Amino acid sequence: MKIKGLISIIIALMMVVVLCACGKQTPAGTDSTPAATQGGSSSALAGTYKITVWVAENAVELTKSQIAKFNETNTDGIKFDATVEAVSEADAGTNMITDVEAGGDIFCFAQDQFARLVQANALSKLGTAAAATVKAANAAGVVSAATLGEDLYAYPLTADNGYFMYYDKSVIPEADVDSLEKLIADCEKEEKYFAFEMQSSAWYLASFFFGTGCVSEWESDGESFTSVHDTFNSPEGLIAVKGMKKLVDSKFHLSSSKGAEFASGAAIVVSGTWDYEAVKELLGDNMGVADLPSFEVDGKSYHLGSFNGCKLMGVKPQTNATKGAAIHKLAQYLTGEECQLERFNALSWGPSNSNAQKNEAVQANPGLAALLAQSPYSIPQGQIHGSWWDIAKVIGDDVKAAKDDAGLQAALDNYSAKINALFNMSDEEKNAFTVIGSINGDGWSVDIPMTKVSEGVWETETLTLTAGEEFKCRQGKSWDVAYPSSNFVVETSGSYVIRLTVTGDSGTVELVAK
Determine the Cα–Cα distance for residues 277 and 344; give it in Å rounded to an integer: 10
3-state secondary structure of 187: helix
Determine the Cα–Cα distance for residues 326 and 81; give it in Å rounded to an integer: 12
Please check the confidence at residue 281 and state whether its pLDDT lies above 60: yes
Determine the Cα–Cα distance for residues 344 and 174; give it in Å rounded to an integer: 27
Please check the confidence at residue 485 and state whether its pLDDT lies above 70: yes
Determine the Cα–Cα distance for residues 38 and 36; give it in Å rounded to an integer: 6
Together in a domain, 184 and 255: yes
CB 67 within 8 A of CB 330: yes
pLDDT category, 390, cuts 50, 70, 90? Answer: confident
The pLDDT value recorded for residue 39 is: 40
pLDDT, tens digit, for every residue of 138-152? 988 889 889 988 899
**Domain of residue 136, CATH code:** 3.40.190.10
- 371 occurs within a structural domain: no
- 21 occurs within a structural domain: no
Together in a domain, 320 and 296: no
Together in a domain, 196 and 300: yes
The pLDDT value recorded for residue 7 is: 41
The pLDDT value recorded for residue 352 is: 93
Together in a domain, 498 and 438: yes
Question: β-strand 306-308 against 216-220: which pairing, if any?
Answer: unpaired
Together in a domain, 72 and 123: yes
- List alpha helices for 74-113, DSSP H: 89-98
The pLDDT value recorded for residue 386 is: 75
- 227 occurs within a structural domain: yes
3-state secondary structure of 491: coil
The pLDDT value recorded for residue 75 is: 95
Determine the Cα–Cα distance for residues 64 and 85; give it in Å rounded to an integer: 10
Closest Cα partner for 294 from 195, 178, 199, 207?
178
Q: Identify the DSSP state of 148.
A: E
Residue 393 to residues 13, 202, 206, 209, 445, Cα–Cα distance (Å): 73, 4, 9, 13, 8
- 368 occurs within a structural domain: no
- 27 occurs within a structural domain: no
Please check the confidence at residue 223 and state whether its pLDDT lies above 90: no
The pLDDT value recorded for residue 14 is: 42
Please check the confidence at residue 84 and state whether its pLDDT lies above 70: yes
The pLDDT value recorded for residue 442 is: 67
Determine the Cα–Cα distance for residues 105 and 77; give it in Å rounded to an integer: 19
Determine the Cα–Cα distance for residues 92 and 110; give it in Å rounded to an integer: 9
Provide the percentage of residues in the chain whose pLDDT is more than 90: 68
Together in a domain, 248 and 174: yes
How many structural domains is the chain composed of?
3
Rounded to an integer, the average pLDDT of 433-459 is 88
Lowest-pLDDT range of 243-252, 393-402, 420-429, 499-508: 420-429
Together in a domain, 317 and 240: no
Together in a domain, 439 and 500: yes
Lowest-pLDDT range of 71-75, 108-112, 232-236, 494-498: 108-112
Burial class (CB in 10 A: 0-12, 13-18, 19+), 452: middle
Please check the confidence at residue 93 and state whether its pLDDT lies above 90: no
The pLDDT value recorded for residue 220 is: 73
Closest Cα partner for 156 from 356, 373, 367, 389?
356
The pLDDT value recorded for residue 228 is: 92
Together in a domain, 55 and 89: yes
Together in a domain, 260 and 407: yes
Rounded to an integer, the average pLDDT of 231-259 is 98
pLDDT category, 119, cuts 50, 70, 90? Answer: confident
Determine the Cα–Cα distance for residues 94 and 116; give it in Å rounded to an integer: 9
The pLDDT value recorded for residue 120 is: 83
Please check the confidence at residue 162 and state whether its pLDDT lies above 60: yes
Together in a domain, 291 and 417: yes
Rounded to an integer, the average pLDDT of 443-455 is 88
Provide the percentage of residues in the chain whose pLDDT is more than 70: 90
The pLDDT value recorded for residue 305 is: 97
The pLDDT value recorded for residue 181 is: 98
CB 46 within 8 A of CB 35: yes
3-state secondary structure of 463: strand
Together in a domain, 256 and 351: no
Residue with the bigger pLDDT between 120 and 74: it is 74
The pLDDT value recorded for residue 379 is: 86
Q: Identify the DSSP state of 48.
A: E
Highest mean pLDDT: which range of 85-99, 227-241, 356-370: 227-241
CB 248 within 8 A of CB 198: yes
The pLDDT value recorded for residue 456 is: 94
Rounded to an integer, the average pLDDT of 479-490 is 86
The pLDDT value recorded for residue 389 is: 87
Burial class (CB in 10 A: 0-12, 13-18, 19+), 510: exposed
CB 474 within 8 A of CB 488: no
The pLDDT value recorded for residue 438 is: 86
The pLDDT value recorded for residue 104 is: 97
Please check the confidence at residue 206 and state whether its pLDDT lies above 80: yes
- 9 occurs within a structural domain: no
CB 263 within 8 A of CB 282: yes
3-state secondary structure of 61: helix
The pLDDT value recorded for residue 44 is: 92
Its domain, for residue 284, covers: 167-306+382-421
- 433 occurs within a structural domain: yes
- 88 occurs within a structural domain: yes
**What average pLDDT does the chain have?**
89
pLDDT, tens digit, for every residue of 27-68? 333 455 544 433 444 589 999 999 999 999 999 999 999 999
Rounded to an integer, the average pLDDT of 349-364 is 92
